[in-house]
Amino acid sequence: MTPPHHTLSRRRFLQAAGLAAGSALAAQALPVRAAERAKVALATARSYDRNVVRRAVQDMLDDLGGLGDVIRPGDRVAIKTNLTGGVHWEQQLSVPATESYVTHPEVIRALGEAVLDAGARELVIVEATYDRESFFRWGHMAAASDLGAMLVNLNDPWPYKGFIQRPVGDGWLVYENFLFHPILVDIDAFISVAKMKCHQNAGVTLSMKNLVGLVPLQYYMLKQGDGHRSEMHGPDQHYKTRVPRVIVDLVRARPIDFALIDGIKTSEGGEGPWGVLWNPVEPGVLVGGKNPVATDAVATAVMGFEPTALSFREEPFRYAINHLFLASWSGLGPHRLDAIDIAGASLDAVRYPFRAYALPDDQSHAHQHPGPYSFA
């Protein structure tokens, strides 16, 4: 059976790619960082106080041996943040979005400082935002200014002339290639900084799922006006198997050199306040590592789930394929805890059971975690 492929028409693709289509940047698939064993670090932080976060990030990096094998002097480095949903959702909440479902700017700031200290000559903060206000409202513009970093909205190819086609490589699962902003391959190191959350279509949304926000929103909708990357989800119930496979394709097209997961203050029950079981929580933890599969596996365990949980049977993957297993099967890294060395805080000490995503008529299968919904 032939795998599904990218449904973007040749005409639409060529319009999007513009003059950058012939660039050398689009020529080859990027190498993937993989290892038989991996190391992941856990650090505790109970608030987003700047000094608290800075110390936690530094402790985590020290436990991992620093960034010297990821960043070389003179490198150009991109950090992918997570600014999902758009600012309008925050208006109905009693907690800030940065303390519940989007990456906090202090985490970006602390890691950005460490990247520059490691010798990077240029730092770029990237996201395909849902609206123009996200960078400003959620503190990323201020953090970028303090770091001397450039903010890039991946929905617009500026300062390049057009998007480029990036191949996944042999063994692609859904997409043979993706449309990328050229800056995503015109860099020396790529870092994913995600928020620790559950997700309907992926089980958990961590450093690998964060890459869905790499592609320009307007070219991945089944129809204009959908407001999200509906093409990646597919029609009807296809999202149950399609989204996890898309995640693996994305990680292969744009490998992650370092992963950091913000679990200081976040939310359970879904990826944002549009979920019926969504509820803010405060695990007080950061998870970091140089292999994204291993990092996401440890974060999944922190959330109280088993990283090897069975697809369509066990939480948090009752509604989808376990993409951690799929990524490991694809050779991207280990997802079994017995193949991962955990440094820093102990897993048992930071474990914080999350309520998994559940459909409105199937809430009995979700973890029962105490705490009120935090709508204003």
Q: 365 in a domain, yes or no?
A: no
Count the helix, strand and coil residues of the chain and give each as a percent rounded to the nearest 5: 35, 20, 50
State mean pLDDT over 360-368.
Answer: 50
Sheet of 189-195: strands edge to edge? 150-153, 122-127, 76-80, 189-195, 258-263, 285-289, 38-44, 340-344
What are the pLDDT digits (tens) for 30-52? 555 555 799 999 999 999 999 99
Confidence of residue 23 (pLDDT cuts 50, 70, 90): very low
**The predicted structure's pLDDT at residue 246:** 95
Cα 190 to the chain's mean position, in Å?
12
What are the pLDDT digits (tens) for 253-263? 999 999 999 99
Q: 27 in a domain, yes or no?
A: no
Cα 184 to the chain's mean position, in Å?
14
What are the pLDDT digits (tens) for 208-229? 999 999 999 998 988 777 777 8
pTM for this prediction: 0.88
Q: 120 in a domain, yes or no?
A: yes
Q: 68 in a domain, yes or no?
A: yes
What are the pLDDT digits (tens) for 59-87? 999 999 999 999 999 999 999 999 987 78
Q: 194 in a domain, yes or no?
A: yes
Q: Where in the sequence is the domain holding 344, given as residue range(s)? A: 32-359
**The predicted structure's pLDDT at residue 15:** 44
Q: CB neighbours (10 Å) of residue 307? A: 25
Confidence of residue 27 (pLDDT cuts 50, 70, 90): very low
**The predicted structure's pLDDT at residue 276:** 73
Name 159's Cβ contacts closer than 8 Å, sequence gap at least 6: none
Q: Residue 248 pLDDT > 60, yes or no?
A: yes
**The predicted structure's pLDDT at residue 139:** 92
State mean pLDDT over 305-330.
Answer: 95
Instruction: Return contacts of 273-278, CB within 8 angstroms, 24+ apart.
Output: 273/85, 273/89, 273/92, 273/93, 273/100, 273/101, 273/375, 274/85, 274/89, 275/200, 275/357, 276/358, 276/360, 276/363, 277/355, 277/357, 277/358, 277/363, 277/366, 278/101, 278/373
**The predicted structure's pLDDT at residue 360:** 67
Confidence of residue 237 (pLDDT cuts 50, 70, 90): low
> Highest mean pLDDT range out of 196-200, 286-290, 371-375?
286-290
Cis, bond preceding 316 (omega within 30 deg of 0): yes
Q: 366 in a domain, yes or no?
A: no
Confidence of residue 361 (pLDDT cuts 50, 70, 90): low
Q: 154 in a domain, yes or no?
A: yes
State mean pLDDT over 257-277.
Answer: 89
**The predicted structure's pLDDT at residue 239:** 61
What are the pLDDT digits (tens) for 78-129? 999 999 877 877 777 889 999 998 999 999 999 999 999 999 999 999 999 9
Choice between 232 and 147, residue whose per-residue pLDDT is larger: 147
State mean pLDDT over 363-374.
Answer: 36
Cis, bond preceding 360 (omega within 30 deg of 0): no
**The predicted structure's pLDDT at residue 359:** 72
Q: 78 in a domain, yes or no?
A: yes
Q: How many structural domains is the chain composed of? A: 1
Q: Residue 370 pLDDT > 50, yes or no?
A: no
What are the pLDDT digits (tens) for 155-193? 999 999 999 999 999 999 999 999 999 999 999 999 999
**The predicted structure's pLDDT at residue 29:** 55
Q: Angle, nearest 10°, between helix axes 50-63 and 105-117?
A: 50
**The predicted structure's pLDDT at residue 367:** 41
State mean pLDDT over 291-312.
Answer: 97
Choice between 24 and 140, residue whose per-residue pLDDT is larger: 140
Angle at 83 (CA atoms; ends 260, 222), nearest 5 degrees: 115
**The predicted structure's pLDDT at residue 238:** 65
